[in-house]
Structure 1
Amino acid sequence: MPTSHRISFIHRRRPFATAILALTFGYAHTSLAANLPPHFDVNAKADVASGLQCVVGNATDADGMNARAWVAVEDAKTQKVRWATPVPLAKGWYQNQATHCLVNGKQVQALIQSDTASDASSAQTFVDVASFDMTTGRLLSVAPVVAPGVHGRVSLSVDKDASHFELKNGQPVVTGTWTMLPDRAEETPFTASPSPAGKRGH
């Protein structure tokens, strides 16, 4: 992964056996599932309603690579999955993972971190907030998070602690660090809320 602050993908040796992951940010191509896919690794859980919790993480291929982000809601006691939804990866990018989640009204919102390439030295990491209908799991939007006032080949990183993705005044707030490619000479803190869906601003 491009930075040590990121949650590491866990390598698996079993075959990857799901084919419902979308490859673009087209929500119509996102399929809902009654269960999480094989080889799914949990990054975080959080209470979202009475007796329910959101679960975020990623599923990988047989070599523990090419991770794909998934978000689910399950029964907190029985772990029975109510719904599970993959988060599409932009065409040509390498992998993504869901690292945080929270409840915002009637929506579950998850923080998605996406890598553009497998080579850590050249990959940019982009951050988005994906919003889901809490009842059905339907993906409603994917809104980018950008470091304010920063332009160029910027790579973002958000630590796994829940305090880095919180709800304030009805808006999700992300705190993390950014570095500038290609040298990544310095990590600079940032705080931001998601931009309007589809408008990354770079």
Structure 2
Amino acid sequence: MTNDRSRAWLFASLLALPMLAHGAAAEKTEPAESKWSKTFHVYGSTAVDGGECVAGDATKEGMDGRAYVYLKDSKTRQPRWMTAIPLADADMYQNRATHCFTMGGSLFVLVQTDTNQATSLSQTLLSVTELSPLTGKIISSQDADIPGIDDAYSAWVDKGSKGFHEEGGQIRIAGQYFLMENSEKRMPFTFTVAAHPAKKP
């Protein structure tokens, strides 16, 4: 019940928002009437059929963020639907939706998840969530681990479509990472994942 009530308050807040700017870095907007979320951050937005996909997070006083995606209707400029993307693991600290694009009749969203509130201990992990562009219903979700790295690391993808886009029917992800044992050394990564995760036997 609490989650439903929180989601209702956030949706009411989004309806009250003015037109959101296209996202570069996270842009903070103050919803007028939200009692659950004091801030909504827009991390990125992408034009899609019928409107605009807006990716971001909602926080409680700037902390404990939760990923949200909504489709802003091209005519009304209001949210047609809104979807909360849950944490993959209850032990994770927070997540945020940062990029989205459409391919093959689906909407794909990049989610970046922080494992710990303490920055020095936290890893940022990547995952991809597939949604229905018509309803916002979650179709699938898959981890997007950097191939060939066995040690603990933290990864992130900066703003812009270069970091998350379609390539040959797959999803290409590009960003930077560091090993937890050597956080000063930043290294680039680029890899692709299948659009749809393999079904488990």
Structure 1 unaligned segments of length 5 or more: list them. 1-6, 19-36
Kindly state the Cα deviation for residue 152 of structure 1 after the two structures are TM-superposed: 1.3
- For 2:123, the aligned partner's letter is Q
Return closer, same or farther for 1:115/1:12 CA change in 2, 3 Å cut-off. Answer: farther
Q: Distance in 2 between matches of 1:8 and 1:158?
A: 13
Instruction: Indicate the SS of the match to 1:60.
Output: strand
Q: Is the 8 A contact 1:144 1:194 kept in 2?
A: no
Q: Is the 8 A contact 2:38 2:62 kept in 1?
A: no
Kindly state the Cα deviation for residue 163 of structure 1 after the two structures are TM-superposed: 1.2
Q: Is the 8 A contact 1:11 1:65 kept in 2?
A: no
Task: Quote the residue 1:127 is aligned against.
Answer: 126
Larger relative contact order (Cα-Cα within 8 Å, sequence gap ≥ 6): 1
| Larger proportion of strand | 2
Compute the TM-score of the two structures, normalised by the length of structure 2. 0.77
Instruction: Indicate the SS of the match to 1:159.
Output: coil
Task: Quote the residue 2:107 is aligned against.
Answer: 108
Q: Distance in 1 between matches of 2:80 and 2:33?
A: 25
- For 2:186, the aligned partner's letter is E
Instruction: Tell me how large the CA RMSD over aligned residues is.
Output: 2.7
Task: Quote the residue 2:40 is aligned against.
Answer: 40
Task: Quote the residue 1:164 is aligned against.
Answer: 163
| Larger proportion of helix | 2
Kindly state the Cα deviation for residue 186 of structure 1 after the two structures are TM-superposed: 1.1
Structure 2 unaligned segments of length 5 or more: list them. 1-24
Return closer, same or farther for 1:194/1:58 CA change in 2, 3 Å cut-off. Answer: same
Task: Quote the residue 1:173 is aligned against.
Answer: 172
Task: Quote the residue 1:73 is aligned against.
Answer: 71
Q: How does 1:46-61 map to 2 (within 5 A)?
A: 46-49=46-49, 51-61=50-60
Return closer, same or farther for 1:105/1:11 CA change in 2, 3 Å cut-off. Answer: closer
Task: Quote the residue 1:151 is aligned against.
Answer: 150
Task: Quote the residue 1:141 is aligned against.
Answer: 140
Aligned identity (percent) is: 32
Kindly state the Cα deviation for residue 197 of structure 1 after the two structures are TM-superposed: 4.3
Summarize deviations over 1:78-137 as a string: whole Å, max 9, x none.
321111100111211111000101001211111100000011111000001110011111
